[in-house]
């Protein structure tokens, strides 16, 4: 079987061997339920969970008790958005977000909009960034929650979190941030940015799928959305997945160790990829290139049909046309930037990762060049 370059690391990443090793004992040796604290095996499992919680908290400079384990960023987003809207509805029922948010944010907000809340979805500028003046003007006396992602999952654009956090803090508004794409890739301290609720995921940082967390600031109390055994301080019922929690903590540690070097290297590779693609002609970057994750590149290709483009590419490259959660539907993110449906369909998201090499970048440029020559005739 021929191996093709995997350049879709924003969709998911391979589990690091060190992470697999960290999880191994908890599958069959230290398998006890961490809530069973009347015997030694249960206490050992509980200790492993709390050690992992402390390690994850250290990476974010927060207190361990602020970390609530979930099944991933989607669940964390739902807990944050629905939970805070429910717990603060006596203060107001206005919610604010951006048009470029992940569906795991937009859909819970739209659900609430169908149940008595009022939702404002702000447009972004052509570079994908929010206008802070327009954002400030959209805040109201009855705004109880703002949800803005740190780094976009399609175009990698980094929103001005400090500015957003300051505006929310001054008005006593809860600020939720989907951090699935930024965590492990850029240094981020939620408390320093005024973020009250921060969602993260394990499988975006070379950890296991099925695990994530919601970091909750002191004084912010979302209403539980999953009821059961009262785990996670009563915020999330259900037996804790000890192997996955251990894997998440190890992945976070590894990401912290090589973050700076990794981003410098991937930035150089991304620039090499962009230069090669631009040389082909009719290639434009979607979103701000300056305010962007180092491992992301999203480009639109002129003069080609999007369906034919991706059908030809998939035989030679593992790349994406947008979010892995979009099920092939047109990108609402690229539409928010002003692209037509045809332009959005003829766009490619490249997500570089730890394993990406110069040879793979060169191969990607060669593949795109050949496909463009074929499709442009």
Domains defined for the chain, CATH in brackets: 17-254 (3.40.640.10), 258-376 (3.90.1150.10)
Confidence of residue 321 (pLDDT cuts 50, 70, 90): confident
Confidence of residue 3 (pLDDT cuts 50, 70, 90): confident
Beta-carbon contacts of 308 under 8 Å, excluding residues fewer than 6 positions away, are: 375
Q: Among candidates 298, 354, 303, which has minimal Cα distance to 321?
A: 298
Write out pLDDT tens, residues 121-133: 999 999 999 999 9
Write out pLDDT tens, residues 44-94: 999 999 999 999 999 999 999 999 999 999 999 999 999 999 999 999 999
Q: Which of 15, 168, 177, 325 is catalytic?
A: 325
Confidence of residue 278 (pLDDT cuts 50, 70, 90): very high
The predicted model gives 133-156 an average pLDDT of 98
* pLDDT at position 1 over 80: no
Count other C-beta atoms under 10 Å from residue 363's C-beta. Answer: 16
Contact status, residue 177 vs residue 150, Cβ threshold 8 Å? yes
* pLDDT at position 322 over 70: no
Which pTM does this prediction carry? 0.96
Catalytic residue status for 168:
no
What's residue 325's pLDDT?
54
Question: In a 10 Å sphere around its CB, with 0-12 CB exposed, 13-18 middle and 19+ buried, how is residue 315 labelled?
Answer: exposed
* pLDDT at position 373 over 80: yes
Write out pLDDT tens, residues 158-209: 999 999 999 999 999 999 999 999 999 999 999 999 999 999 999 999 999 9
Write out pLDDT tens, residues 21-35: 999 999 999 999 999
């Amino acid at each position: 079987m021929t191996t093709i370059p995997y350049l879709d690391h924003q969709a998911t990443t391979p589990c690091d061997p060190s992470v697999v090793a960290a999880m191994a004992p908890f599958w069959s040796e230290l398998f006890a339920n961490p809530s069973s604290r009347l015997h030694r095996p249960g206490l050992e499992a509980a200790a492993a969970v709390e050690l992992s919680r402390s390690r994850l908290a250290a990476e974010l400079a927060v207190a361990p008790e602020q970390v609530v384990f979930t099944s991933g960023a989607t669940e964390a987003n739902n807990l944050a958005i629905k939970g805070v809207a429910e717990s603060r509805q006596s203060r107001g029922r206005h919610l604010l977000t951006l048009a470029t948010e992940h569906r795991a944010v937009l859909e819970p907000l739209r659900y609430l909009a169908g149940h008595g809340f009022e939702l404002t979805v702000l447009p972004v500028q052509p570079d994908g960034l929010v206008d802070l003046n327009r954002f400030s003007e959209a805040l109201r006396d009855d705004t109880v929650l703002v949800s803005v992602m740190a780094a976009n999952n399609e175009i990698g654009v980094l929103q001005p979190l400090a500015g957003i956090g300051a505006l929310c803090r001054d008005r006593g508004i809860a600020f939720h941030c989907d951090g699935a794409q930024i965590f492990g890739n850029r240094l981020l301290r939620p408390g320093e940015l005024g973020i009250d609720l921060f969602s993260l995921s394990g499988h975006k940082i070379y950890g296991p799928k099925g695990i994530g967390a919601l970091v909750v600031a002191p004084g912010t109390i979302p209403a539980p959305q999953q009821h059961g055994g009262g785990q996670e301080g009563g915020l999330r019922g259900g037996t804790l997945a000890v192997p996955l929690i251990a894997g998440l903590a190890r992945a976070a540690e590894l990401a912290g160790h090589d973050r700076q070097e990794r981003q410098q290297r991937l930035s150089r590779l991304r620039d090499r990829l962009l230069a090669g693609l631009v040389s082909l002609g009719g290639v434009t970057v979607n979103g701000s290139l300056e305010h962007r994750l180092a491992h992301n590149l999203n480009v639109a290709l002129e003069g080609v049909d999007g369906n034919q483009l991706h059908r030809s590419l998939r035989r030679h490259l593992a790349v994406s046309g947008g979010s892995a959660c979009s099920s092939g539907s047109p990108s609402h993110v690229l539409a928010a930037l002003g692209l037509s449906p045809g332009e959005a369909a003829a766009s490619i998201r490249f997500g570089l990762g730890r394993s990406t090499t110069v040879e793979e970048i060169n191969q990607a440029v060669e593949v795109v060049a050949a496909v463009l020559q074929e499709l442009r005739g």
